[in-house]
Amino acid sequence: MALEQNQCRRKFCKKTSERVRLIKAVAANYREIGSSSPVLYTLSNRHEEQLIPFSLVQMVGVFSKRPVVFSPSILSRGIIERLLQPAESGLDFNTCHPEPVESCVRQDKSVFLIDSTDQPLGIKLQSIQEVINQDKHCLLQLGLNHVENLLKQSIYPIIIYIKPKNKKGRKFRKLLSGHREEDLMEACQMEELQLETLPVMFSTVEPNAWSSTDELLAVIRSTILSQQSTMVWLEQERLQ
C-alpha cells in the first residue's frame, strides 16, 4: 500500500498543471448525517478563493435519450448542421430551432433565451420534450448558462467540451458559422471556467482524438452514444 501511495504521489507531481474535480456519492438522507466544512483542494496554481469544493453528488437514472449541449457554444450551430446532414443521422438526432420570443414570456423558465442581435430568440422546453418523446437526442444551440435551468426542469443534457487544437482555433473554421477565430478562443477561455462550476459532469473531446472536421463529428457521435449509457451524477443541493 505504501508503494502504491508513493507511485500516486509521483504521478500527481508530474501533472501539476492539471485539475481534478473530486466527487462523493451520498445517500438521499445525507442531510440527517450532518455536514462539515468543504475540503478545498487544487492541483494547479490557482488562487485560494478559486479552489473548487469537494462536491456532494447523487445518482440519477435517465432512461430517455438525453439532449446535447456543446462547448464552446459558439460552435453549436455548425456542429448541429453537420450532424444532421447525413440521412442516417435522423435515426438518432434532431434539433429545436430557436423561435422568436415575445417580451411577455422572457421571464418564463420554460423558455431558454439565446443571445441574438436582432429579435430575441429562444428554445421552448416543450419543443425539447417533443424531441425526447421521439426517442432522439435533441442537439441544442444553448450555452452553458442554461444547463442548471435544464436540470431543474428534469432535463439532463449530455455536455461535450471540445478542446481546441491550438491557441488560434484554425481547425474549427468550417464550424464557426460566420464567427471569428478570435471570438472562439475568447469563448473557450470563459467556458472552461463555467464547466468547472456546473452541477453535472461533462465529457471532453481531446485535441489528439481528431484531425479533420469529419473525424471530429465521428468522435462527437461516439461520445453522445457512450454518454447515454452512463449514469448521471448531480450536485442536488445546487438545484433546490
Strand partners, 114: 121
Residue spans per domain, the chain: 20-60, 68-235
Q: Cα–Cα distances in Å, from 53 out to 36, 50, 56?
A: 12, 9, 9
Report how far residue 63's alpha carbon sits from residue 229's, in angstroms, rounded to the nearest whole number.
Answer: 9
Dihedrals φ, ψ of 70, to 5°?
Answer: -105, 145
pLDDT tens per residue across span 89-132: 667 899 998 888 876 666 777 889 887 667 788 999 999 999 99
Neighbours of 77 (CB within 10 A): 19
Check if the beta carbon of residue 140 is closer than 8 Å to that of residue 44.
no
CA–CA dist 194, 145 (Å, integer):
8
Chosen CATH of 68-235 out of 2.60.120.260, 3.40.50.300, 1.20.58.100, 3.80.10.10: 3.40.50.300
Residue with cell 488560434: 168
Residue 143: name the closest of 180, 107, 194 by CA.
Answer: 194
Q: Which of 153, 150, 157, 73 is nearest to 114 (CA)?
A: 73
- For residue 233, the 8-state DSSP code is E
3-state SS assignment for residue 100: strand
Q: Which three cell numbers stand for residue 187?
A: 469563448
End-to-end CA distance of the chain: 41
User: What residues in the chain have per-residue pLDDT under 50?
Assistant: 12, 15-19, 24-48, 51
